[in-house]
Structure 1
Amino acid sequence: MDEVLLRSLTPSVIGILVRRGADFAAAEDAVQDALVAAVRAWPADPPRDPKGWLVTAAWRRFLDATRADAARRRREDVAEEPAPGPGPAVDDTLLLYFLCAHPSLTPSSAVALTLRAVGGLTTRQIAQAYLVPEATMAQRISRAKRTVSAVRFDRPGDVATVLRVLYLVFNEGYSGDVDLAAEAIRLARQLAAAVDHPEAAGLLALMLLHHARRAARTASDGSLVPLAEQDRGRWDTGAISEGVAVLQAALARDRLGEFQAQAAIAALHADARSADETDWVQIVGWYDELVRLTGSPVVRLNRAVAVGEADGPRAGLAALAALEESLSGSAGTGHPVPRHAAVAAYLHERDGDLALAARLYAEAARKAPNLAERDHLTRQAARLNARRMR
């Protein structure tokens, strides 16, 4: 059974049913039933036209469900008009991207629905990836499907929203039997091929360049390896070459966006043969572009690190102080920018203040979003405290 083929056909088959008159929830349920039937039937009797087989099987299941509901007879009459078959050659995958990234959905629901409808993953696989019970994920997906069932596509969708949903999928990483980072790259390839938008290419390039470093990010014991300490011989040169080529083509269109700028920074890291050869001056320039494009405090935080590498730790700390001053009116307790304490710790360590750096690493560890990062930051604090005791 070719699972990749089934997953690639899923959005197109759902789209055909939607265009024939099925609402999204009913279409998605019917296609999932058809996929189960395909898993059972195809090994013994593979179809000559897999897409046509799935469309026919899903359409029959939709009609059966419609007939069973007397309150929906009028819709059943409309639904029976098209004949079974593959249907018109239209960009159904793109339609589903926009549907799953509908602004009425929360980011987590949009991601789950995208993985289910566009990615073709089962509820169990998505639940495993998010480390939540299958029943919890089923409820989340059901609510999302109900939310978008009445959405009409009489206007173009928002590509920027779709890109952000895919970026969220990529940043989830992977767990269980579903590699969400690889899945996000597969979906980003589809989107970049379907839309004439440089930021779609920028996102694909960014994913490829980050994913190229994946094998070197963790040690054999599972601990995190910082970028500067990674074995660059373990980086995927094929993914780097592809990412750089995709990025160059996007930048040549002179319509810069934040994903292209982020990809340019990743490309500069990938181009350096060692950490010492990193072109930090260019990286600061790209962070300046990102600040101009987004105004994001997180971008400004990362820029402070780059400034510290390009011009020395005191310059980095000055950039960090400027960020803190601009955010001094933020409500709530603690610093509003994630990983602020970790960046401050790094810069203070480079500046020679080991005691303050150790305290800041410990503070950052308490706020870390996951166990691996918490362990890494705790180790950094312990390392500095050990150095101070010598």
Structure 2
Amino acid sequence: MSSVWSQLVGQEPAVEMLSSAAAAAARIVAGEPALSGAMTHAWLLTGPPGSGRSVAARTFAAALQCLTGTGCGECPGCRTALHGTHADVRLVVPEGLSISVAEMRALVQTAARRPTTGRWQVVVIEDADRLTEGASNALLKAVEEPPKRTVFLLCAHSEHPEDVSVTIRSRCRLVNLRTSPPEAIARVLVERDGVDAELAGWAASVCGGHIGRARRLATDESSRKRREAVLRIPLGLSRPADVFACADELINAAEGDATEASKARDEAEKAELRTAMGGDATGKGVAAAKRAAEAAVKALEKRQKSRATRTQRDTLDLALVDLAGFYRDVLVTASGAKAVLTHPDHASQVATAARQWTAESTLRRLEAVLACREAILWNVKPRIAVEAMVTALRHG
């Protein structure tokens, strides 16, 4: 790896801004004069899903800890920051549906300390839009009066007040990430992941600019099968019974994905926790340790359940995005526009739908998918929201 910045695919403007800030930060640490305004204590990284917000934040964190100040990718500061093991880089990755005020207060308190082994205390908050109101207020106090050598990196979909509060946004420097071009994604899949060039090209063309999705489609056959099942829905609703069959398929696929992703991790976490607390010990005097271990395991199971719920919803949302892309392609094809299709490998099915449906009915179907996404966001039970959506898709 030539430098940490090579991880950011197709994000040249963002790399230029962040690398300049990292260089200025290195000069500040060395006590040298730095370019005025190049470095600041709070950053907000925004961009569409898959644009690499969290990757950009971790990359910037590594560059700030780099011993050369350039983000060389080879020194201990870069390597440990990228692998999430640096003592002065705090990663907040919400495993549930929100980030609590208690978690944020503890983090802010830790972030107020001076760096121990690195150059800066860096706090990376992925999915900052999941901050509760109380957590936002706790973070705001730290951002308003930041410790001298602490940097906050917030990741969110946009700078809209629904994602990040106006007061926090006003104290952050904004970095907008863009959707990576298919050519750049395909090149990374071939060079970094060893994917066949033809498969990499296909995955890059259908992933919607989402690099992580492209990697999963290129390397995981079950992901490809789930996508195919989702894209069969629009033209597969000929009978009333198909509504419930398709809704079941969507829900079961999301639940299966969440279970598959969580099962091995959950068991490993439980075993590790029991061992750490002496819950598997034998002999005299271990009853108290066993009780404490079981209590801790129950608390862990509660967090794991919340994480599984989030994984299920994220997987379902990805399927809904694919559906929305199909109806968008139908509108593009019916209008005769030259825009690139979201699902170019389903162009024939899209053309069939464009001949069968009016533009108005296609738009109603698209609105039904978007309404389902919003309903799930507002905690409507996924099965109810999906069944209502699929009914609307059948009737148009």
- Say yes or no: TM over 0.5: no
* Greater relative contact order structure (CA < 8 Å, 6+ sep): 2
More helix by share: 1
TM-score when scaled to structure 1?
0.29
TM-score when scaled to structure 2?
0.28
More strand by share: 2
